[in-house]
């Protein structure tokens, strides 16, 4: 009997990195369980040994935990339905397959690969859907027993009855009907003794009391096979919900050919887990309003399968970038400080000692201008090193013939300041401009170029204040010396 407590599961195969589509499946299962005070289970479907990748299980678990999707049961979090690795449950599948054989709902198949290939080619030439022809179902009991005694290579197949209507009631897609004539006598146990996805999936979902099977649309065509298995075992079926495909901007199926698809790729690029979870949640689901910014706890309260769309969801990186910037801005500066220190520790500035006070000023100055934490280094390197080059186009436009003399005068004024703050630098520049009878901009623009090497960024007085009086003067003097020498100016 299915549990009266909502139980969902994420059941990935350890064949490599976690696809963003897999993250969405895991997220929706997690959100639905939490929204309904249920349990979220992680099960590893590792029965396809040819595709097994060493270390993939550990990577999957690490990535889920990084994203904040902690499972209630699974590898390392053992519950009453352990083990949660299918490779450790082989006897369970074998027993259930043998039960189906006794009930004549499954049978042994000894056909060689050569025969199966010939059958497929013949059916294709005749315009028929390739499927097994039940040849071995006609073997006598004695023939089967002899072949088994001789250890002949074999599989176990499901005995699908023709002419039956198979109904899938799907929360997202409604009623979907299939005719059993198009359902193959699928293999349940492979010749290596391992179960196929279909048998292991159904057996485990039943034994682990999974109430809701929430998975990608690509599994919808397999669901009739699963329905038959539930019926053959006389088991109650879970609720099915098949999620829409993820699409590239050109509406082709999301693939690595057109960009990154692994969660680890986005993590390495500096995307925040909060932003990625927020973005993935909106790939096929909406709360029914215009809100797009969510934290995980808010999603737990809002999520429902009824609000999941049928249509494919376009993976829009620009929207992901926007969400990342929004989530970063909404963090406390003290939290960004921790992230910035991590970024610095892996950069060329790792051996430099910056005070927390200094870094917090940098964070505040650049907060509205960054998308990623790494942008603090990439968009404002002048906070971490003296410019060695000056933007050529900015120098050509902003560094006039009189700029060196104006900057020398400004240096004189700055040197007289004692313990200056931002307003002191601003007032001094304005006073200097008035005294020299020039526009404020005639001093502001070359000053920005001198201290930062570029022509954009936060307010120039913020930059000077953060760098401090001595460092700013040193940079102005260096610019006076270098900028007229056009061969050293680089764009």
The answer to whether the beta carbons of residues 169 and 240 sit under 8 Å apart is yes
Helix 223-233, helix 197-207: angle, nearest 10: 50
Q: Strand 187-189's sheet: what is its strand order?
A: 106-109, 155-158, 187-189
Q: What is the dihedral of CA 264, 266, 267, 270, to 10 degrees?
A: 160
Residues identified as active-site: 256
Q: Which helix (H) or strand (E) holds 345?
A: helix 333-345
Q: Strand 7-10's sheet: what is its strand order?
A: 39-42, 7-10, 212-216, 239-243, 165-170, 174-179
Q: What angle do CA 335, 339, 340 make, to 5 degrees?
A: 110
CB-CB neighbours of 456 under 10 Å: 11
Q: Is 87 exposed, middle or buried (0-12, 13-18, 19+ CB in 10 A)?
A: middle
Name beta bridge partners: 10: 42
């Amino acid at each position: 009997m299915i549990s009266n407590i909502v139980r969902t599961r994420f059941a990935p195969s350890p064949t490599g990195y976690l696809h963003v589509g897999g993250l969405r499946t895991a997220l929706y299962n997690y959100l639905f369980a939490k929204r309904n005070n249920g349990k979220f289970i992680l099960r590893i479907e590792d029965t396809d040994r040819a595709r097994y990748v060493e270390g993939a299980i550990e990577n999957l678990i690490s990535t889920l935990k990084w994203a904040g999707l902690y499972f209630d049961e699974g590898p390392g979090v053992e519950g009453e339905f352990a083990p949660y690795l299918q490779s450790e449950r082989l006897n369970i599948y074998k027993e259930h397959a043998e039960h189906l054989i006794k009930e004549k709902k499954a049978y042994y198949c000894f056909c060689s690969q050569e025969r199966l290939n010939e059958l497929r080619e013949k059916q294709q030439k005749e315009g028929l859907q390739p499927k097994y022809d039940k040849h071995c179902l006609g073997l006598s009991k004695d023939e089967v027993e002899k072949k088994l005694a001789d250890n002949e290579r074999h599989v176990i197949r499901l005995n699908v009855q023709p002419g039956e209507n198979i109904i899938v009631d799907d929360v997202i897609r409604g009623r979907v009907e299939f005719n059993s004539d198009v359902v193959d006598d699928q293999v349940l146990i492979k010749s290596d003794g391992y179960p196929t996805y279909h048998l292991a999936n159904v057996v485990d979902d039943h034994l682990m009391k999974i109430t809701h099977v929430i998975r990608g649309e690509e599994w919808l065509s397999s669901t009739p096979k699963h329905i038959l298995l539930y019926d053959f075992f006389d088991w109650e079926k879970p609720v099915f919900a098949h999620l829409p495909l993820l699409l590239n901007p050109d509406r082709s199926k999301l693939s690595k050919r057109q960009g990154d698809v692994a969660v680890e790729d986005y993590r390495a690029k500096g995307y925040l887990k909060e932003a990625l979870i927020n973005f993935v949640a909106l790939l096929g689901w909406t709360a029914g309003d215009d809100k797009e910014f969510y934290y995980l706890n808010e999603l737990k309260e809002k999520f429902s399968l009824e609000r999941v769309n049928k249509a494919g969801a376009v993976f829009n990186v620009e929207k992901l970038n926007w969400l990342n910037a929004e989530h970063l801005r909404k963090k406390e500066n003290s939290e960004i400080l921790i992230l910035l220190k991590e970024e610095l520790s892996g950069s060329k500035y790792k051996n430099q000692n910056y005070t927390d006070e200094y870094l917090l000023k940098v964070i505040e100055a650049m907060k509205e201008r960054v998308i990623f934490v790494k942008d603090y280094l990439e968009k404002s390197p002048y906070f971490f090193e003296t410019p060695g080059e000056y933007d050529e186009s900015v120098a050509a436009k902003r560094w006039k013939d009189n700029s060196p003399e104006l900057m020398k005068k400004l240096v004189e004024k700055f040197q007289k300041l004692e313990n200056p703050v931002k307003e002191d630098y601003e007032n001094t520049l304005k006073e200097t401009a008035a005294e020299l009878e020039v526009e404020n901009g005639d001093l502001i623009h070359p000053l920005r170029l001198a201290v930062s090497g570029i022509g954009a960024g936060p307010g120039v007085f913020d930059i000077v204040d953060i760098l401090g009086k001595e460092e700013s003067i040193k940079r102005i003097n260096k610019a006076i010396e270098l900028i007229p020498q056009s061969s050293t100016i680089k764009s």
